[in-house]
């Protein structure tokens, strides 16, 4: 199983992360914070400025795939439909299992049914019209 890059701390040198076999310096540890320690699972928990540097580095990673941020009048249903289409292609090429597709289709159909109940019309027909910009954490939580 491939390992995902995670920041780590070197005493006296600062925070680093490894991308494509190369160690990249993320920054000095803030002097006003205590010396970092690994947790009981052996993982580092970098401070906020280092996490920010790590995420910026991940976003601009050479050779990485950058997905544009969805804005405008795309509906949540359109985005989920694109995802299901992508997943179907992965199933047909053999990199995802059919049961994964079935699970997501059932789960996301239920989510879209819930979004449809939030619309103002008494008997909404078709997919919900909630846009990506309007979608919030509470929609997913509920």
pLDDT per residue over 94-137, tens digit each? Answer: 999 999 999 999 999 999 999 988 887 766 677 888 888 888 88
The per-residue pLDDT for 71 is 53
Percent of the chain with pLDDT over 90: 31
* 88 three-class SS: helix
Which class for 27: exposed (0-12), middle (13-18), buried (19 or more C-beta within 10 A)? middle
Please report which confidence band the pLDDT of residue 14 belongs to, taking 50, 70 and 90 as the band edges: very high
> Is residue 129 domain-shared with residue 103, that is, in the same domain?
yes
> Is residue 87 domain-shared with residue 135, that is, in the same domain?
yes
In a domain, 1, yes or no: no
In a domain, 70, yes or no: no
> Is residue 135 domain-shared with residue 81, that is, in the same domain?
yes
> Is residue 46 domain-shared with residue 82, that is, in the same domain?
no
CB 85 within 8 A of CB 78: no
- Quote the CA–CA distance of 86 and 115 in Å, as a whole number: 22
CB atoms closer than 10 angstroms to residue 88: 15
> Is residue 126 domain-shared with residue 83, that is, in the same domain?
yes
> Is residue 48 domain-shared with residue 82, that is, in the same domain?
no
List the domain range (segments joined by +) for residue 99: 76-141
How many domains does the chain contain in total? 2
> Is residue 81 domain-shared with residue 52, that is, in the same domain?
no
Please report which confidence band the pLDDT of residue 61 belongs to, taking 50, 70 and 90 as the band edges: low
> Is residue 97 domain-shared with residue 124, that is, in the same domain?
yes
């Amino acid at each position: 199983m491939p390992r995902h890059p995670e920041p780590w701390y070197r005493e006296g040198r600062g925070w680093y992360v490894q991308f494509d076999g190369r160690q990249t310096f993320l920054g000095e540890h803030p002097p006003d914070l205590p010396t970092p320690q690994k947790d009981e699972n052996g993982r580092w928990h970098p401070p906020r400025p280092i996490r920010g540097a790590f995420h910026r580095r991940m976003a601009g990673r050479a050779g990485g795939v950058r997905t544009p941020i969805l804005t405008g009048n795309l509906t949540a249903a359109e985005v989920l439909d694109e995802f299901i289409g992508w997943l179907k292609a992965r199933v047909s090429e053999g990199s995802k299992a059919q049961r994964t597709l079935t699970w997501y289709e059932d789960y996301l159909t239920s989510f879209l049914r819930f979004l449809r109940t939030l619309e103002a019309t008494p008997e909404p027909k078709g997919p919900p019209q909630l846009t990506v910009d309007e979608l919030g954490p509470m929609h997913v939580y509920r």
